[in-house]
Chain A
Amino acid sequence: MVDDWEQIETGSPDLNRLRTVRTVVTEYEPLVSEAKFDSPVDPQTLQLSMDAGIRTETSRFDVTWTKKGYYKYHYTEGEGFNYRYDRHPRVDIPEKHFHEPPDASHDAVTSCLEVEVVPLVTLAILQLWRETVASGDLDDLQQPNPP
């Protein structure tokens, strides 16, 4: 299926918002080993390397925020395990939706995230990840479940 992020004019990547994400994760998340941009001169995605995973020893978040205030936090442990929290318009489901693991399915569901500003979205997604790493229960990625 086609990536729903590609079907909408989501706006230009916003370096300022991505800097806020970087500040939040480096200050509050000890399990982030590195937070770096995809390019030093043309930064569009922030890559967070994690020192733990749900099914693996390490993992990664690829984060994009746009000037229109839309986001995607794509979590990956390689080809076999992915999920993604999104906010952007979509015709069939709410703006804030969740592409479920293990394949970050295109048939997304309503997200448990109601918060909208960069630090809160970032803190919530990291918290949900940390709890899921600890429990191994994928239902913990959406709290309460279902939202």
Chain B
Amino acid sequence: MADINERAREAWIEETTSRERIRTILEETTEYATAAAVADRALTSEPTTRKYLDELVADGIGITTQDGRTTLYKRNDGRQIDERIAELRETTSRDELIDGIREMKTQLQDYRDTYEVDGPEELAIELDASDDCWADVGRWRATRRNLAIAQAALQVDEAHRLAEA
């Protein structure tokens, strides 16, 4: 039987179009990358990749920077925050948002109490290489960001309710 990695590549190509694969790879590109690097990961040709990447940038899904004459691409994290706020407003009730905000605040307080520092950046400085709670640095950052997003969703909700009152 063929190698599992090869079989996964074949299955992906069979089930998707080039454009879908390029978009999927752009959505996981958090560091600037060349069109050639994206093509390599998306299993697509470089000209096709460049064409679709430019479309995805025009649609606001990706952003670019220049490195000399080379264009570098990555996903647009700012747009993702806006989409996440809109998604929360659609999928979550006001009460669920309020409950979620309360739980996240409790979680953040737990981190502060447990580690006796104010934030994940200080925690990363305080920890030794041998400590076994490094993953909490990332979880703390994520919860802090998710709290800000949930609070923003609640504020936007409130603005709409006031506008309609």
Contact = CB atoms under 8 A, between A and B. Distances in A.
A12 B11 contact: no
A47 to B, nearest CB: 16
A116 B132 contact: no
Contact of A42 (B75, B134, B146): B146
Contact of A143 (B3, B88, B136): B3
Contact of B4 (A28, A39, A127): A127
The secondary-structure label for the interface of chain A is loop
B132 A41 contact: no
Interface in A101-147: 112-121, 123-124, 127-128, 143-144
Contacts of B51: none
Contacts, number: 125
Contact of A9 (B84, B107, B124): B124
Interface in B81-130: 84, 88, 91-92, 96-97, 100-101, 103-104, 107, 124, 130
B142 A44 contact: yes
B133 interface: yes
Nearest to B27: A16
A7 B134 contact: yes
Given A3-B132, A8-B134, A12-B138, A39 B100 contact: yes
Interface of B: 1, 3-5, 7-9, 11-12, 15-16, 21, 24-25, 27-28, 30, 41-42, 75, 80, 84, 88, 91-92, 96-97, 100-101, 103-104, 107, 124, 130-139, 141-143, 145-147, 150
Interface of A: 2-3, 5-17, 19-20, 27-28, 39-44, 65-69, 112-121, 123-124, 127-128, 143-144
